[in-house]
Structure 1
Amino acid sequence: GELQVRGPSVFAGYWNAPERTAAAFAADGWFRTGDLARRDPASGHYAIVGRLRALIVTGGFKVQPEEVERHLEALPGVAESAVFGVPHPEWGEAVTAAVVPQAGARLEEAALRGALRERLAPYKVPKRILVVEALPRNAMGKVQRRRLAERHRALYGGEGAPLSRRSTRS
């Protein structure tokens, strides 16, 4: 679930932004980090597994882009990847990926999807895998999934469908 924190070192709110502050804090004062975490029952430690706003909801199933990216980047010839949701008339959002090939590698969408089918649940396998030269990044070097989603908005004929809150933030 979403990691929430509270304590004396947690900030009290956003400067001159009461609506943003109200959205960021639960009624009982816990700060919603936006990180998805999993607790290891044996050690009691928490591990961050993704971001809530990057979550893709497809056909009622929730997909963490980072999980699909790990599998893509383990495949031969894939240098890096970004997984994002794109409006889909049947599924709400479709899991979609952009991959950058390693130098000299030739990537084929069908082969990549086939390899992922062996490793992931069917709903997690991207409906399309786009081979690109580079992924869009912000000034800090972070991949901009939102830009990819906007760029490929019409891919499944869902041009007019609004992107969900979760898939548009990156």
Structure 2
Amino acid sequence: MRLIIQRVSRSAVTVYEEGFEYQNDHITHRQETGKGLLILVGVEETDLSEDIDWLVGKASQLRIFDDENGIMNLSLKDVDGECLAISQFTLFASTKKGNRPSWFRAAKGDISEPLYEEFCTKMSAAIGKEVKRGIFGADMKVELINDGPVTIFIDSHNKE
């Protein structure tokens, strides 16, 4: 499982009714956050609950928010921040051959959707508040203001 974690001052995800992109009267789903994390979640065929547990531990406790001295020393929970998690199969893009990416390592929906939902549920428990989310498999429009910018890549199969 892979995560792209971005420290944000705000983030949002919007899903529009088919054929009505960017028209406010045709929004079918919208979630917004203030200060916190936007997490892109990619699931691989071999991922298990243990991968989720490790990633939730890392993501919820990452000390990437500034303390009173301007040092990155505080976690999401320390700053009472919010979290938006978006399913993102393209995190497993392979560009080894040619210019058209392949996603052969990305898990199919019947595997990835339950694991994405499990990640969101466990992350909510870890930070003590609801993790906002997009709609799995939908065409989503994601907005963010990356604060810093701070962007962290974590892979549960390559624990660096």
TM interval, short-chain normalised: under 0.3
In the superposition, the TM-score normalised over structure 2's length comes to 0.26
Higher relative contact order (CA 8 A, sep 6+): 2
